[in-house]
Structures are given as C-alpha cells and as structure tokens.
Amino acid sequence: MDREPVNRSDQSSRTGDAGRSDSTNRSSPEFNRRDFLRGSGAAMAATAMAVAATEQQAAAQQQAAKVVSAAPHPVKLNVNGVDLTLTVEPRVLLIDALRNDLNLTGCKDVCDRTNCGACTVLIDGKPVYACSRLVMDVEGQKIVTSESLLSPTKTDDVVTNFCKHDGMQCGFCTPGFVMAVRGYCNQNPKATVDDCRKGLGGNICRCGTYAGVLQAAFDTAQTATPIAKGGA
Amino acid sequence: MAERKVGWEPQGQHTLVGKEIQRLDGPVKASGQAKYANDTNPPGTLFAKLLTSPHAHAKLVMLNLDKAKAVKGVKAVIAMAEVGQEVRYEGWPIVAIAAERPEYAEDGLRAIEIKFEVLSHFVDEADLKGAEAADVTDAGEKVKLTKSLGTQKKGDVETALKEAKHVHKGFYGVNTITHMCLEPHGSHAAWDGDKLNVALSTQNVSGTAGQYVKPLGIDEASVSIKCDFIGGGFGSKFAVDEWDVACAKLAKETGKPVRLLLNRATEMQIAGNRPSAFAEVTVACDAEGKITAWDSHHWGTNGPKGGTVALTVTPYVFDPPNRTRTATGIITNCGPDRAWRAPNHPQACAYSQTAIDDLAAKAGMDSLSFFQKNLSLTNVPHIYGPELEIAAKLMDWKTKWHPRGQGGGNGPVKRGIGLALHTWGGGPHQSNVTIKVHPDGSVEVMMGSQDIGTGTRTCIAQVAADTFGLPLNAVKVSIGSNKFPKAGPSGGSTTIGGVTGPTRRTAQQALWKICDLAAAKYNVDGTSLSAKDGKLWSGDKEVCTWKQAASLVGPMALELQGGPVTEDEKLTDKQVGGVQMAEVAVDTETGVVRMVKMVAVQDIGLIVNRLLARSQVYGALIMGIAYSLVEERIMDNKTGRFINANLVDYKLPRIGDIGDLVVEFYEPEDQYKRGVIGLGEPPVIAPGAAISNAVANAIGVRVPVLPLTPKRVLDALKGARV
Ligand code: FES
Ligand code: FES
C-alpha cells in the first residue's frame, strides 16, 4: 500500500472558542458537553428532584475527569486492517483525517453536513457518513474505505457490478455509493430491487447514475455474505 | 483492390465500436482510487478557504486581516476585494486563507475583522413589475433592472388569432437551478520555480492555461493543467475562476502547494446556475389542430447581467407560421449564470410545450395526435415521427391515455401521461490527436481532452483498438493534460464526435502505412489488407500478426498527428431530435408527484458505446426529474440570500424517486450513416414539459411553474376548484 500517512506538520493546540456546532467544525468542549448531557439526562430521569443537585454535581465531576484538551493527541485507528496512530486535535472529523492525513480520498467531502453519502465508509461493518464522526469517536473501531475494494490481486464484487452496469459517470459520488451498497448488501443479502430502492436513499448522485447503481446493488446483494461472516 | 477511404465500417461490422463496453477507468473510480483535483494531496499541501459576502448587495467598509494572519497554522491571507468596493451578490469572494489544516483555515476566517454597509437589493426574479419598480442603486446610481432583449415577429399573429378555432392563454415558469457538481469548483496549485502546475476541476483541459497569464504575469508555456477526473461540470467548468487564481497566489506566497475548492454553499451561490424563465403565452390552432399562431413574452434572470432564455428557441421545436416573441431580462443580486446542460432549451421546452399541450386539451385532442399533427412545423419531422411511434409503444400510450383529469378511480391518487420533444446540435468540436504505434505493437493515443463522465477515454480506446483490430487493452489512452495535442472543451455535446473522428481517421492512416510495410515484406497487395483479431489479413488469408507488422515500423514508433474532423469526411454529424413520455401518479391530498415511468427515444447517429450512451440518457432523465419535481434555488426577498444553499434543503431525487426509466435509441441505417453525434445534452431538455404535461393529464389542471412541488400542485388544485 502506498498510503502512508501524510505528515501534516505542527498539530497545534487551540484553547479558543468552541467553534460552530455544525459538522465542519466541532471542538472538544462541544464534544464533551454533549457527552455530559447524555449522562446527566439519564441520571435525571431516574432520581427525584430533591437529589438532582447532588447527581448533577457527581455527573459534573465525572465529566471533568473525561475532559479532553483541545490540543492534538494520539488516536489509535484501524483502517483497512492496518493499525495506525494519528495525532490530531479532538475536533478533527474522520472524513478530514482519512482524506487529508491518510490520503484516503475515496471518501469525498461534498455536502458539508452529513446528507449526501459521498463520504460513506464502513465502521465495524456498517455504512457510516465519515463526516458525521470525530476521529476520536471511532478509536478502536474497524474502518473500511473504498480503496480496500480493489487491489492488483482482488476486485470486490461491488466494484465489478458497478462497472458492469455502469453505475457511475463523473464518479465523484461513486465510492461513497459503493460503500453504501457494500454495507447494505452485507446487512441485507438477497435484497430485492425494491429493497435496494428503499435501502439506498442515503446517497446523492448528481450525474443521475441511479439506474446502474440499482442494478449493481441488486447483483451485489445476491452474492453478499451476511455481515457476521465478514463481508468487505 | 479495395479503396482506402476515411470512414466507419457499415452498420453491424465494427468489433468494438457500437458495443456495450465497460468504462476503462471504472474500477479506479468505483474504488475511490481515482484522484480528482479535490483529492490532490501531496505532502505539505495547504488548505485554503474563502470568506464570502453574506449580503446580496453591500459596500465593504472595513477589512482587517492582521488577526487572521496571526492565527496558529495560518500561512497566508489575501484579500480578493477592496475596501470601498460593492459586492453584488451573496457569496462574493472577499478573502482567501491558506493554512496547514482546514480546521486552522476556519479559525483564520473567524478572526477576520470586516464591516459592510448593507445596500438595497432585488432578487425576486419572477416579479417583472416589481423589477420595474425596484429602487436599487449601483455605486450610488439608480439602476434600471429590466432589460429588453428584443421582439421578433413573423407572419400576422393578430389575424391568425382572429381566425383561429381554439385560442389558449397561459402563464408558465421554470425556476433557477444550480449545477450542483458534487466536486465543487476549484484547484490544487503548486509552483516549481517559475512553473505552475495546476490540478484543475475543468471541462476545458486544453483551453485554461492561458487564463493564468494575465492575473499572474506568467507565460502560458509555464502553466501545466492536469485533470484526469472531474466530479461534474454540466457546463459550469470551462474557465479558470478568480478563486483558482487566488489559490495559485497563495501557493506562490507560501512556497507550498495549496488546494482550494469551494464549500457547498459558495459553490451553489456563485459557481453557476441555469437562468429562470417565466412566460405569458397565447397560442392558437385551427379546427384540425394545426398550430397557427404564437405570441409570448418571457422574462427571468441570469443574475447581475440581466439575461434570460434566448428569444430564438421560442416557441420550442414547433415554429408556427405566425408568431411574435418578446423577452425581458432582469438584473438581480443573485449569483451569475453559467452554461447549464443544453443552454436555453430545457426552459424554452418547459414553457412552450406545456402551453401547446394546454391548447391540445382545449381542442379536446389526444396530446400525441396533436403533437403528431404539428410535426411539419419542426426541424426534423422525419425523426420525430418514427420516434413518437416507438415511444408510444414503450409507454403503451393508447391504453393509458385519457382526457385531462378523467383517469377515473375514486382514490386521491391520480395517474397521467404526457410527452415532449427536443432538439440539439451536438456537432463535433475541434480536437487534435497523436497516435503512436510502437515496434512492439502497443498503441498510444494522446489528446488534451477530458472525461466529464461521458467515457471519453473509453470511446477513444474503442475506436483506435477497433481500427487496428486489437483488443481494448492493447491501446493506452492519455488525456487530461494541456501538454497533449490541443482538444476542444467538453460542452455542447461535442466531445464524442470531436475526439472519435480524428482518432478514427488517424488510426486508419496509421494502419494503411503499416499495411504498406507488410505488403512489401510479405509480397501482397497493400490495399487488400485488413486488421482483425490481432492479425493482418488479405481477404480471409492470414498474412502476419499485428506484432510482426508493427515491428516493420523500425526501431522507433510510427507517430501520426491528426487534426479536427471535417464535414466531408462524414465521420460525424449534427442535429438530433428526441421524444420523451412521462407517467406520473399524483396524490391530490398531499400534492406529491411520484414518477411512475419515463420513456426516452433518442437518435444520435452512430453510437460509439452503447452502455455509456445509455448512461448519458439515464442521467439526463434523472436530472430532468430533479428540476421538474424538486430542485430549485429559493431566494429570500427580504435578505436577498439563497436560503436553501445546502444539500439538505436543495432537494435532489434519491434512488427510490425515479420510477422506471426506459431508454431506446433510434438507429436505422440512414441514421447510423450520419456518423457520430453528441448525446450529453438533448435528453435533459424534454423532461420538464413531459412531466408537467403528465401531471396536468392526471389532475386536470396545469401546475404552471417548475418544479412541481406539493405546494404548487395543491395551489393549482385549489385554483381549479374556485
Ligand atoms: S460529505 Fe458526508 S454526507 Fe455529504
Ligand atoms: S457519478 Fe457524478 S455525481 Fe454520481
């Protein structure tokens, strides 16, 4: 593999504002506040108002212990079966780490807001928008990108089927669609054409390749092995 | 002695041309290994982002970049606008920042200190009266926002209207849409001393280097443009944009490569759109249903220039003996337009053939018979005629047809069918080629062209391999660099004719040279030789293998250059027709329109690659469904902003929204003999009118403006009840 991490010099620490809360720019304080709210919400539901204050204090303490500084820090990732460590700020999104740090540009940045599917990768076998996850969120999980589906010795069925039915034109949405199909078919082997129409609505193609994609997805589903056995 | 003549083999006799051949770059595209400008990522690359205007019209009164420059990770900041300058639409670029990571570039943007004086604006493109009355200034001067684009008259409309049996008057419209290329506009720029290497997302590999000369003060010879893959263009990526120049400047200033691609919102605001068009139409026919008169006034906007759809394509396809057409452009504070797949045609088709269909309904006629009756008013009746027959069969028109709103059924969901016709040029552009046949028999074809999704690479390879009697993989095609022989831009459906024509001729000429060498060596008549299955044959007698023949070229490759195709070579042609029929199901309680089926019958002369050609038509139909049913730019009149400039609120169909698509090529021998004609644009033209006509047929009333959103459908139904 020629996909050595690209060395992005000088990962700086930033302690400034929390950044916007949209998907393109999340900071670590934002991340931890949400984490905190999730925990404290559960506690509130289970306790009487009288003890709520105590619970909140406890939760706050717990949260303080989990605070991650905004400075870059090492994150262990497993990408396409390779273990590696990236040193990045906690606000860095998985999509940006894959594209900019690992040069895995098959996952495309298209919509800036978790809607188009162009950045789809598999995380523990499930199709996920890479722009919807922070890098630190996926530590320890298995990430599979489109690049892994083609090597000099192996061509995944899904790639073969996209070529056979010409499920691509400009090809920009294609790797994301390919990963969505791979993940969907692993989860739904033997899916019908109609199933595929319903199950693959998470990706946008501007060139209008849906007819070919649909046929490719159907073919892929027929030979897919259920997710427990591995798949892609 | 066989005659040597440039041209295609008779229909059915090519081995690769005309077949379903998978695209050569399919596997690298599908696996994400293909590198686009957006993916160009050599070590050290800086990431650039833009600060753009949040206002539709404003004066820049203060700009301080010092704090941004001091932000950690930021390497260069350049102003793209000056204090005192007016910005005329939202998204106008003001500052470009390059930083070590995209996150740092964002930090830099937030640190910019900027102040605007907000000025008055106008963005309500459908409102002609409002535009006439609007009080908008430019540099302090009041601007007249409406621009007459002229009136053209033919025949005597007034008398024709008086004598007509049926006269219909109606209002129609098509809203602005954007190109929405999934790869945004932009580039990666890297300096190597005085040389500039650009990975540019472009439809115009050979024509863009020169656009760096003036703004950067460099030689064109020092600029190299590379574009192996492009993530969509649709007519919006012919030029080097100001942000590409800014990218090169940032690279120069920092001494590092810089990548700058627009973010989604800016892409939608400023990187191109298709102008809107709204029309008041009067159209009339005689008792037989022959259209006798047309009178229309249409208006719309293409942004700051104040243009709309061309007069010349109105009414669309049908040209009655008496017609008057008038157009008015509106200057708006919206982003500028760019050529959008088949410029002018989709809008003109949508406001013309809906009006004509309404006239058919008024005359109480079946739409199909009405259109058939008027084919003599079109440019290619001999093509539309048979295409209509084929389409009607594929749609089962006769069974499905019912007068408007009389489809029966007690439930709220009503079915309907509709049709429309289109036409397009699609003649070849000017491309040059170099072909090398190496002594080992391998073949190279080089061309400064680009593959915008059409399958340019694959089509060139097919033609060369077919001509030399070789398998596809024996030919290496190199495109995507301005250092290869100059080729035309990919626009106007000109590419496949433009690249395959010169490739065929030059490959034939190379083959003839090799045949002559083989003839001398093996003592046969050179003109009797043909190439097939990796061998040269004299009649059905094998003379030698291709490798043996190629080795006769000597120690160095045989290299031939070829210029653009000429008309008399008959390798290519122009001017197609095309017929589309749509079937929809409309929920009259919710207003939701569901696509059931679309049929497209298309002529394109000689088909080079059937699989890829079909993809072009599928794509056009789906793009057509998009602008017919869901996609539109929505401007907020109060703020002047493009409020759905994101992929969540700017709707596009998904895989489950397209219904069944049926594509059929019309290719009798006389069409095949015309040679190659471009295909990218024609089939995107008719869906608007075909789908709108199907909806009218289903619910009994016209929904006048595209896209046919649930609200517009319900409004039309309400109007009908009043
Ligand atoms: S870029 Fe991730 S969903 Fe669009
Ligand atoms: S192939 Fe171009 S966006 Fe899908």
Residues A181 and A105 in one domain: yes
Of the pLDDT bands very low, low, confident and very high (cuts 50, 70, 90), residue A69 is: confident
Of B28, B182, B661, the CB nearest to A172: B182
Q: What is the pLDDT of residue A25?
A: 34
Of A105, A112, A175, the CB nearest to B30: A175
Residues A38 and A98 in one domain: no
Q: Flag whether pLDDT at B501 surpasses 90.
A: yes
pLDDT digits (tens, 9 = 90+) for B22-77: 999 999 999 999 999 999 999 999 999 999 999 999 999 999 999 999 999 999 99
**Which of A91, A112, A210, A214 should one mutate to test binding to chain B, selecting the residue with the greatest count of B CBs within 10 A?**
A210
Distance CA B494, CA B491 (A): 6
Cβ neighbourhood burial of B576 (10 Å; 0-12, 13-18, 19+): buried
pTM metric for this prediction: 0.93
State the smallest CA–CA distance between residue B265 and chain A in angstroms: 9
Q: What is the pLDDT of residue B408?
A: 82
Is residue A141 a part of any domain in this protein?
Answer: yes
Partnered with residue B541 across adjacent β-strands are B538
Nearest residue on chain B to A213, alpha-carbon basis: B655
Residues A50 and A154 in one domain: no
State the smallest CA–CA distance between residue A45 and chain B in angstroms: 34
Q: Mean of the pLDDT values across residues B168-172?
A: 97
Residues A52 and A99 in one domain: no
Distance CA B46, CA B56 (A): 30
> Which residue has the CA at smallest separation from atom 3 of ligand 1?
A114
Q: Flag whether pLDDT at A12 surpasses 80.
A: no
Q: Tokens in use for A14?
A: 């930033």
The more confident residue out of A62 and B704 is B704
Name every residue whose Cβ is closer than 8 Å to that of residue A75 and which is 6 or more positions away in sequence: A85, A86, A87, A88, A135, A136, A139
What range does the domain containing A55 cover?
Answer: 8-66
Q: Mean of the pLDDT values across residues B290-319?
A: 97
How far, in Å, from the CA of B623 to the mean position of ligand 2?
Answer: 11
Distance of CA A185 to the CA centre of its chain: 17
State the smallest CA–CA distance between residue A112 and chain B in angstroms: 7
Residue with tokens 């005085």: B194
Residues A121 and A172 in one domain: yes
Q: List C-alpha distances in Å: B701 to A80, B291, B404, B587.
A: 56, 21, 8, 14
How far, in Å, from the CA of A110 to the mean position of ligand 1?
Answer: 6
- Strands B433-437 and B558-562, sheet pairing: antiparallel
Distance CA A99, CA B403 (A): 56
Residues A208 and A112 in one domain: yes
Residues A131 and A185 in one domain: yes
Q: Flag whether pLDDT at B436 surpasses 70.
A: yes
Residues A54 and A122 in one domain: no
Please, are residues B413 and B696 in contact by the beta-carbon 8 Å criterion?
A: no
pLDDT digits (tens, 9 = 90+) for B387-421: 999 999 999 999 999 999 999 878 999 999 999 99
C-beta of A173 in contact with ligand 2 (< 6 A): yes
For residues B565, B567, B570 and B572, what is the CA-based torsion angle, rounded to 10 degrees? 60
Is residue A117 a part of any domain in this protein?
Answer: yes
Is residue A176 a part of any domain in this protein?
Answer: yes
A19: left (phi over 0), alpha (psi -120 to 50) or beta: left
**Among the ranges given (A13-22, B250-259, B357-366, B526-535), the one the predictor scored with the smallest mean pLDDT:** A13-22
**Which of A4, A101, A172, A179 should one mutate to test binding to chain B, selecting the residue with the greatest count of B CBs within 10 A?**
A172
Is residue A76 a part of any domain in this protein?
Answer: no
Distance CA A50, CA A46 (A): 12
Q: List C-alpha distances in Å: B557 to B438, B475, B510, B543, B551.
A: 4, 14, 11, 21, 9
Distance CA B580, CA B391 (A): 7
| B73 neighbourhood in chain A, CB within 8 Å | 10, 12
Residues A187 and A122 in one domain: yes
C-beta of B182 in contact with ligand 2 (< 6 A): yes
Residues A148 and A213 in one domain: yes
Asked if B30 lies within 8 A of A200 by C-beta distance, the reply is no
Q: Which atom of ligand 1 is nearest to the CA of B647?
A: 4
Is residue A79 a part of any domain in this protein?
Answer: no
| A118 neighbourhood in chain B, CB within 8 Å | 182
Sheet holding B433-437, edge to edge: B475-478, B443-446, B433-437, B558-562
Of the pLDDT bands very low, low, confident and very high (cuts 50, 70, 90), residue A63 is: low
Q: Flag whether pLDDT at B507 surpasses 50.
A: yes
Of A164, A170, A197, the CB nearest to B453: A170
Is residue A26 a part of any domain in this protein?
Answer: yes
Of the pLDDT bands very low, low, confident and very high (cuts 50, 70, 90), residue B8 is: very high
Is residue A130 a part of any domain in this protein?
Answer: yes
* DSSP string covering A164-195: HTT--SS-SSHHHHHHHHHHHHHHSTT--HHH
- Identify the helix (H) or strand (E) that includes residue B96: strand B93-99
Q: Mean of the pLDDT values across residues B458-471?
A: 98
* DSSP string covering B504-520: HHHHHHHHHHHHHHHHH
Of the pLDDT bands very low, low, confident and very high (cuts 50, 70, 90), residue A231 is: very low
Q: Flag whether pLDDT at A39 surpasses 80.
A: no
Q: Which atom of ligand 1 is nearest to the CA of A109?
A: 1
Q: Flag whether pLDDT at B5 surpasses 50.
A: yes
Asked if B264 lies within 8 A of A113 by C-beta distance, the reply is yes
Q: Tokens in use for B383?
A: 């093509």
Q: What is the pLDDT of residue A54?
A: 63
How far, in Å, from the CA of B615 to the mean position of ligand 2?
Answer: 11
Q: What percent of chain A has pLDDT over 70?
A: 69
- The structural domain count of chain A equals 2
C-beta of A118 in contact with ligand 2 (< 6 A): no
Of the pLDDT bands very low, low, confident and very high (cuts 50, 70, 90), residue B241 is: very high
Q: Mean of the pLDDT values across residues A113-137?
A: 97
Q: Identify the CATH number of the domain in which residue A174 sits.
A: 1.10.150.120
Q: Flag whether pLDDT at A87 surpasses 90.
A: yes
Q: What share of chain B is helix, strand, coil (3-state, %, to 5)?
A: 30, 25, 40
Q: Tokens in use for B496?
A: 């496949």
Question: For residue B253, how many other CB atoms are within 10 A of its CB?
Answer: 14
Ligand nearest to the CA of B182: 2
Residues A14 and A101 in one domain: no
Asked if B101 lies within 8 A of A8 by C-beta distance, the reply is yes
State the smallest CA–CA distance between residue A179 and chain B in angstroms: 9
| A10 neighbourhood in chain B, CB within 8 Å | 73, 100
Q: What is the pLDDT of residue B409?
A: 79
Q: What percent of chain B has pLDDT over 90?
A: 98
pLDDT digits (tens, 9 = 90+) for A174-190: 999 999 999 999 999 99
**Among the ranges given (A28-32, A193-197, B85-89), the one the predictor scored with the smallest mean pLDDT:** A28-32
State the smallest CA–CA distance between residue B404 and chain A in angstroms: 30
The domains of chain B, with CATH numbers, are 26-32+428-569 (3.30.365.10), 37-120+185-261 (3.90.1170.50), 273-426+573-718 (3.30.365.10)
> Which residue has the CA at smallest separation from atom 4 of ligand 2?
A205
Of the pLDDT bands very low, low, confident and very high (cuts 50, 70, 90), residue A10 is: very low
Q: What is the pLDDT of residue A56?
A: 67
Q: Flag whether pLDDT at B329 surpasses 60.
A: yes
How far, in Å, from the CA of B183 to the mean position of ligand 2?
Answer: 9
Q: Flag whether pLDDT at B467 surpasses 90.
A: yes
* DSSP string covering B349-376: HHHHHHHHHHHHHHTT--HHHHHHHTGG
C-beta of A209 in contact with ligand 2 (< 6 A): yes
Is residue A86 a part of any domain in this protein?
Answer: no
Mean of pLDDT over chain B: 97
A221: helix, coil or strand? helix
Distance of CA A102 to the CA centre of its chain: 14
Of B73, B104, B618, the CB nearest to A212: B618
Q: What is the pLDDT of residue B520?
A: 97
Q: Mean of the pLDDT values across residues A130-155?
A: 97
Residues A109 and A217 in one domain: yes
Q: Flag whether pLDDT at A11 surpasses 70.
A: no
pLDDT digits (tens, 9 = 90+) for B76-124: 999 999 999 999 999 999 999 999 999 999 999 999 999 999 999 999 9
